[in-house]
């Protein structure tokens, strides 16, 4: 089941829309006012809920979204191939307070998943985490082109939206978890031009795509296609992968070389062990000092004249 929210509309305009549809059926509600909030809940083609079940689903959704003391109305439409209802409620409660719209989209998604489980409804494939689904306008355009092709007004069937085509190209290019440079080269071969957005210091912080003349940021495609998402969910590395060199096999020695090596080994003289201890200095015997005789005093001779 898909839930679509529209804020800030007046009751008169949205009521004119839901009441003017052919086959519109009012299922429930109370009074009307201003400052309306519209939500459409749609089932997958082939699924069906009775009026009582739709009324239960709508009131449970409104109550959990905070519209439990408000004016609201529920209309069921059958103008398309999928069963859906429109919920129009006033954000102003009967006590004068305002219904908070904080985190309303995550809260709405959680409530819808619970309703799908309780009423055995299938979760749409487009709601894959990390991959943004085509818009309602893109889906309607493709349905219209498909009808024109079946009536012979078109030569070929409608193509997927460019956004979805680009997502498929990136999915195929990241199967083996390439590096960022390898991914950019692969996408260029498929006609996709990539631009890396960097910080002031040169570090990469984002990625942009250009495909078939249209520009997309990673966020436009989904969180898996941003630069952090490519690393976390697709296994893309910023650094290039190291090249693995094949092992070099050593050539087997020839017979002559084997004989020569054997001879050298056979006639090799054993090496003399060398001691690393310092040599001891040989001590010479001490020499006794030679006695030196004392000097003899000089003799003076006197001669008589």
SS (H, E, C) 249-286: CCCCCCHHHHHHHHHHHHCCCCCCCCCCCCCCCCCCCC
User: CA-to-CA distance for 205 and 198, rounded, in angstroms?
Assistant: 5
Mean pLDDT, residues 5-26 taken together:
57
Give the mean pLDDT of 5-20.
56
Give 278-292 pLDDT, tens digit per residue.
665 666 666 666 666
pLDDT on residue 305: 46
Q: What is the pLDDT of residues 31-70, one digit of tens each?
A: 554 556 778 888 888 888 998 999 999 999 999 999 888 8
Q: Is 220 exposed, middle or buried (0-12, 13-18, 19+ CB in 10 A)?
A: middle
Q: Residue ranges per domain, the chain?
A: 2-127, 160-233
Q: CB-based burial of residue 18 (10 Å sphere; 0-12 exposed, 13-18 middle, 19+ buried)? A: buried
Taking the C-alpha atoms of residue 72 and residue 29, their distance in angstroms, rounded to an integer, is 5
What pLDDT does residue 89 have? 83
* Confidence check: pLDDT of 170 > 90: yes
Q: How high does pLDDT run on average in the chain?
A: 78
Which pLDDT score, from 0 to 100, does residue 255 have? 56
pLDDT tier at 194 (50, 70, 90 boundaries)? very high
- CB contact set of 4 (below 8 Å; sequence gap of 6+): 39, 40, 42, 136
User: How far apart, in whole angstroms, are the C-alpha atoms of residue 290 and residue 52?
Assistant: 139
Low-confidence winner among 13-27, 81-95, 202-216 (lowest mean pLDDT): 13-27
Fold exhibited by the domain 2-127:
BirA Bifunctional Protein; domain 2 (3.30.930)
- The gap from C-alpha 94 to its chain's centroid, in whole angstroms, comes to 44
pLDDT above 70: residue 192: yes
- What confidence score (pLDDT) does residue 115 get? 93
The packing angle between helices 180-189 and 162-173, to 10°, is: 130
Distance CA 1, CA 83 (A): 10
């Amino acid at each position: 089941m898909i839930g679509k929210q529209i804020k800030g509309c007046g009751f008169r305009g949205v009521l004119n829309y839901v009441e003017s549809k052919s086959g519109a059926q009012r299922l429930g509600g109370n009074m009307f006012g201003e400052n309306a909030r519209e939500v459409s809940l749609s089932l997958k083609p082939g699924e069906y809920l009775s009026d009582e079940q739709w009324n239960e689903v709508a009131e449970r959704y409104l109550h959990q979204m905070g519209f439990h003391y408000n004016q609201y109305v529920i209309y069921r439409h059958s103008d398309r191939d999928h069963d859906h209802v429109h919920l129009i409620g006033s954000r102003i409660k009967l006590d004068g307070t305002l219904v908070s719209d904080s985190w309303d989209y995550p809260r709405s998604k959680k409530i819808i998943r619970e309703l799908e489980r309780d009423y055995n409804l299938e979760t749409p494939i487009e709601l894959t985490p990390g991959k943004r689904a085509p818009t309602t306008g893109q889906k309607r355009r493709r349905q219209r082109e498909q009808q024109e092709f079946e009536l012979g007004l078109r030569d070929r069937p409608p193509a997927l939206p460019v956004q979805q085509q680009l997502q498929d190209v990136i999915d195929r290019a990241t199967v083996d978890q390439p590096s960022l440079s390898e991914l950019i080269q692969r996408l260029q071969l498929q006609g996709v031009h990539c631009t890396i957005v960097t910080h002031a210091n040169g570090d990469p912080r984002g990625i942009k795509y250009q495909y078939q003349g249209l520009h997309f940021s990673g966020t436009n495609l989904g969180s898996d296609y941003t630069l952090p998402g490519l690393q976390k969910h697709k296994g893309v590395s910023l650094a290039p992968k190291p090249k693995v060199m094949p092992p070099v096999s050593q050539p087997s020695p020839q017979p002559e070389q084997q004989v020569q090596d054997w001879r050298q080994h056979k006639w090799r003289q054993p090496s003399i062990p060398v001691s690393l201890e310092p040599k001891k200095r040989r001590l010479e015997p001490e020499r006794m000092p030679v006695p030196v005789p004392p000097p003899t005093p000089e003799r003076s001779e006197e001669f008589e004249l």
